[in-house]
Structure 1
């Protein structure tokens, strides 16, 4: 499947900003299940000058603003060919070994609900079966409800409140998987959805390392393993490692962020039904 993506982030400031430093993770890489045909990242129409690959394998770009700005527009756009691997990303030659992703973080700490869910899944199931059951369980325990959680919401809180967005589903899955002793990581990216072209946020899901298979994706928000409609962008221990844009700025006044994302299938390619 050939997918075209355009991701626009527009930062508007109440007062002019004399200095800002932004770190971008907006560049997907070719790998199992996806081939990037073309991709461009621009900030106010100019390509970032400094970039590198971090320790988790993400392509990172750094942008510095030194003028009194009231608006910054970041656009990431391109075309990616994908194929369905039944959610199996596989064994890769990455710098970070799987055991790195066993580490608990503030967003994935094991509170009472995480521990209880892990205990329910620990007995009587094989590893892969337990992970599928975990995905099913989280899908049922956390209702998809935008606006009820924020970027700082941890897995335990999302499970307690019973609502959230894809970020919360991913964190809950990761927290329980790690409690089960399974390396698990956060994936940010894009999802081609039925009859939805305009989106207000990128997508997120989790991957767990399964013996004999390698990394396997689990999208608890949609209760399914990723297929050809998914495009991976960045990887992390949690959202903070994979967030599309992060940074610091000087100056007073409020900041407003508007995100516009279009994900479309190009003509001549057949879309599967999900």
Structure 2
């Protein structure tokens, strides 16, 4: 499937700041299920800095915007050819050991209810366990926008029983780690016109490492493994670590708070999929 992305992020400040520094994980990598046809990232008034690939195979790009500045717009446009690999991540060049993804973070801390959810699953082998854990998370956390926020932890989302794709991914990651399976957070895009479900085009899911098979993606929000509808941007220990854009504004940010607006569209051919504004 050939998918095209139009992703615009705007940062606005009530008063000018002295400058903005950003680190981007906004360029997808090539692997067996994904080939980049064209891709461009632009930052209004920005100066491109250094770039490198981290140990997980993600391309990192630095940008700086000299001030004074009141608005910064990050525009991403590109086209990717995708194939269904049944969720198995093949052909991505990585150097980090999967065992490092057993480390807990604040967002994925294994609290008692998460441990209990994980321990309740019986399965014959790690792959079957991963599938059953994902299904259990889908049942335990209903998809409902607006009830959680960026800092909501896996334990908090499970207690609420509601959340969005970020929460589903965090809960699954915590449960997998609780059972000794390395797991990580994945950010990307989802073409949703196939089933019409109201999920964001900017999407997130989890990957669980299965010995002898490698990383396998699981999307509890959609009760499936990633297929040709998904574009994978990058990964990390949790949502904050895998964020497509991370940055800081220099200046009196407390006096000049930041307003954020995001618009994402994913299209296949001439058909428009999903747009999301926040």
TM-score, scaled to structure 1 = 0.92
Alignment of 1:54-65 (within 5 A): 54-65=54-65
Instruction: List per-residue Cα deviations over 1:222-250 (Å, max 9, x = no partner).
Output: 11011000010011011112101111112
- Is contact 2:105–2:237 with CA below 8 Å preserved after alignment? yes
Alignment of 1:180-259 (within 5 A): 180-194=179-193, 202-249=202-249, 250-251=251-252, 252-259=255-262
The structural deviation recorded for 1:75 is 0.5
Other-structure match for 1:30:
30
Other-structure match for 2:7:
7
The structural deviation recorded for 1:146 is 1.3
The structural deviation recorded for 1:147 is 1.6
Q: Distance in 2 between matches of 1:198 and 1:52?
A: 35
Q: Distance in 1 between matches of 2:66 and 2:137?
A: 44
Change (3 A) 1:85 1:200: closer
- What secondary structure is seen at the aligned counterpart in 1 of 2:148? coil
1:151 aligns with 2:153: no
Q: Distance in 2 between matches of 1:66 and 1:45?
A: 8
Q: Distance in 1 between matches of 2:265 and 2:160?
A: 30
- Is contact 1:91–1:215 with CA below 8 Å preserved after alignment? no
- Is contact 1:187–1:232 with CA below 8 Å preserved after alignment? yes
Give 5+ residue unaligned stretches, structure 2: 272-278
Change (3 A) 1:53 1:103: same
Other-structure match for 1:101:
101
TM-score, scaled to structure 2 = 0.90
Other-structure match for 1:261:
264
Q: Distance in 2 between matches of 1:50 and 1:200?
A: 30
Instruction: List per-residue Cα deviations over 1:22-59 (Å, max 9, x = no partner).
Output: 11111111112000011000001767242222233221
Q: Distance in 1 between matches of 2:106 and 2:201?
A: 23
The structural deviation recorded for 1:144 is 1.1
Change (3 A) 1:93 1:245: closer
Other-structure match for 2:139:
140
Instruction: List per-residue Cα deviations over 1:72-92 (Å, max 9, x = no partner).
Output: 000111000000111111475
Change (3 A) 1:111 1:225: same
Other-structure match for 2:126:
127
| Deviates further, 26-35 or 91-100 | 91-100
Other-structure match for 2:41:
41
The structural deviation recorded for 1:201 is 5.9
- What secondary structure is seen at the aligned counterpart in 2 of 1:136? helix
Aligned-CA RMSD value: 2.0
- What secondary structure is seen at the aligned counterpart in 2 of 1:221? coil
Change (3 A) 1:86 1:241: same
| Deviates further, 90-99 or 187-196 | 90-99
Structure holding more strand per residue: 2
Q: Distance in 2 between matches of 1:92 and 1:36?
A: 13
Q: Distance in 2 between matches of 1:163 and 1:55?
A: 33
Other-structure match for 1:271:
none
Other-structure match for 1:170:
169
Change (3 A) 1:51 1:37: same
| Deviates further, 34-43 or 95-104 | 95-104
Q: Distance in 2 between matches of 1:6 and 1:158?
A: 30
